[in-house]
Amino acid sequence: MTPVAELVGARIERVDLPRATELYVTLRRPNAARLECLVLSFAPVGPAMWLAPTRPRGDTAPPSITKVRHHWVGARVGSMEQVEPHVLEMTVERSGAASKLRMEWSVRGARALFTLSGDRPLAKLELDPGGAPRAIAIDSLPGPPDTTGTSSEGEVEFLRRTLRERLLRDVAKLEKRARAVEGDLERSADSATIRQRADLLLANIAMVSKGATSVEVTDWSLDPPALVTLELDRRLDAKAQIEALYQRARRMDRGRPIAAERLAETRAAIASLGQKLTQIAEATTLEALRSLDVARGRAPTGASATTRRAKVPSRQPFREFVGTGNVTILVGRGAKDNDSLTVRIAKAHDLWLHVRDTTGAHVIVQLDRSGECPSDVLVDAAHLAVHFSERRDEPTVDVSYTPRRYVRKPKGAAPGAVLVDREKVLALRVEPARLARLLASEIKRDTP
């Protein structure tokens, strides 16, 4: 048993939510040689808090935990106090600023409220917080609970229900994504019709008068040939409308294989979660359920080399975001910073992105030497490229991408100006929810 008072003054090294029911705060006590983890449980049964020697690998941190990390990592525990029989308050101090965690336990679950100075809300985590208060004891902290022996039926069923509900939410999100991608695929099938319309306009361009809203032409591809009416945009001349139609058809053709790949990956993910739901239903012990909980965490995809990067300047010329599968995405802060990011920091096998035909940030997806970028990560990076460009308010935007090795900085070129070879283009339909998730994932580091 470890007295709670001994944790005061400990430095916070990490904050994680690797399991649905447990918050891990990794600490280093003064003069201690090893790290240890303060574990706060959201379960309505079993110990409410304990100390563990290590944290398990698990889920990617949600945006709420990312926010807490920004204020807590590097800070020290100021106090830990049981203000009510069911409430723990923990203050954290750094550079004269204080933040607080208020943990409330009930007979159904728990709620964690993180606030900044002045009780300004920072983040909230909760799991079935309703019900009568559940008194806890925090004078001394035990070691990790034994999950290999016989567990109470209540503990097993609570964790089973928690994992099942979380997986069902994930399935619902994936099914929504699948429907959206299916819609994109259906619309991309219209590329032949759009190209045919452009061909008709091109063949009859002399018949299009300035400011016309429609034109009637003969479609000789029909049997028998017949007159058809083509709607026009009165704001554009005929040549501009024809080129816009051809570009739209090309975007659809380029986007079709990417959408098909995304749909296949999404359906595979749904099937995988279905198997996990079956395993959760069949598990009979806490140990089995917790192994399934940790197994939900995905290893970084295409990012095994990202932790072995060359040192970067003390002032980072980029913003850092976390994409799907923990892949690191870097976004240049300005024109000169774009040069630093693309020319000096990015590796040849990384992926480079930029919005077409406008000014904006260079975006780098850090990949391993295979240079393979999962389609979900490509879409994540494209969202950031659009957001940090002059076309951020448009619903559909073309984004160029190519391996960094095909991006060159001409001698004497203006800051941020580059030449791109082997360019591919993604016609991105902006997803506000995806963009919000990416922006919340930003890792903010102290820079001079």
pLDDT in tens, 315-331: 689 999 988 877 899 99
Pairing of strands 363-365, 22-28: unpaired
Burial category of 419 from C-beta neighbours within 10 Å (exposed 0-12, middle 13-18, buried 19 and up): exposed
Q: Where are the domains of the chain?
A: 2-144, 186-295, 306-440
Residue 145 pLDDT grade (very low, low, confident, very high; cuts 50, 70, 90): low
Cβ proximity of 11 and 17 under 8 Å: no
- In this prediction, residue 310 carries a pLDDT of 40
Residue 312's pLDDT is what?
Answer: 40
pLDDT the model gives residue 7: 93
Mean pLDDT is lowest, of 46-60, 98-112, 195-209, 319-333, for 46-60
Query: Based on the number of CB atoms within 10 Å of its own CB, is 420 exposed (0-12), middle (13-18) or buried (19 or more)?
Result: middle
19-24: average pLDDT:
83
Confidence of residue 445 (pLDDT cuts 50, 70, 90): low
Number of H helices, E strands in the chain: 8, 21
Give Cβ neighbours of residue 338 (< 8 Å, ≥ 6 apart).
317, 332, 361, 362, 415, 416
Average pLDDT of span 241-248:
88
Mean pLDDT over 336-346 rounds to 93
Instruction: Tell me the average pLDDT across 385-399.
Output: 92
Is pLDDT above 70 for 278? yes
Range from 206-215, 289-298, 317-326, 344-353 carrying the lowest mean pLDDT: 289-298
* 405-414 pLDDT per residue, tens: 999 998 888 8
Q: Is the pLDDT of residue 150 over 50?
A: no
**For residue range 45-68, what is the model confidence (pLDDT) as tens digits?**
677 888 888 887 766 677 888 889
| Token pair for 357 | 């035909």
- In one-letter notation, the amino acid at residue 20 is A
Which residues are CB-contacts of 368 (< 8 A; sequence separation ≥ 6)?
Answer: 302, 303, 304, 305, 306, 349
CA 320 – CA 322 distance, rounded (Å): 7
Confidence band of 302 (pLDDT split at 50, 70, 90): very low
- Residue corresponding to tokens 């429907």: 179
Rounded mean pLDDT of the chain? 84
Indicate the SS3 state at residue 78: strand
Task: Report the alpha-carbon distance of residue 425 to residue 397 in Å, rounded.
Answer: 10
pLDDT at position 300: 31
* Overall average pLDDT of the 247-260 stretch: 86
Q: In this predicted structure, which of 252-261, 300-309, 353-362, 413-422 has the lowest mean pLDDT?
A: 300-309
Question: What average pLDDT does range 125-146 have in this prediction?
Answer: 76
Q: Which residue has the higher pLDDT, 105 or 4?
A: 105
Map residue 305 onto helix, strand or coil.
coil
Distance of CA 31 to the CA centre of its chain: 37
Q: State which of 253-267, 373-387, 405-419 shows the largest mean pLDDT.
A: 373-387
Integer CA distances (angstroms), 159 to 108, 124, 140, in order = 12, 20, 25
Say if CB 377 and CB 302 are below 8 A apart.
yes
Nearest C-alpha neighbor of 145 from the set 248, 41, 252, 70: 41
Q: What phi, psi does 325 have (nearest 5°)? A: 75, 20
pLDDT above 50 (res 339): yes
Q: Is 338 helix (H, G, I), strand (E, B) or coil?
A: helix
Topology given in CATH for the domain delimited by 2-144: ibrinogen binding protein from staphylococcus aureus fold (2.30.310)
Q: State the average pLDDT over residues 286-312.
A: 49
Contacts of 279 (CB under 8 A, 6+ apart): 292
Percentage of the chain surpassing pLDDT 90? 33
For position 149, what pLDDT does the model report? 47
Q: What is the pLDDT, as a whole number, of residue 208?
A: 87
Give the mean model confidence (pLDDT) for residues 308-314: 42
Q: Which of 432, 433, 431, 376 is nearest to 183 (CA)?
A: 431
Q: Are strands 36-41 and 49-52 parallel, antiparallel or unpaired?
A: antiparallel
In the structure, what pLDDT confidence band is assigned to residue 153 with cuts at 50, 70 and 90?
low
Alpha carbons 25 and 37: distance in angstroms, whole number: 5
Range with lowest mean pLDDT among 144-158, 230-244, 337-351: 144-158
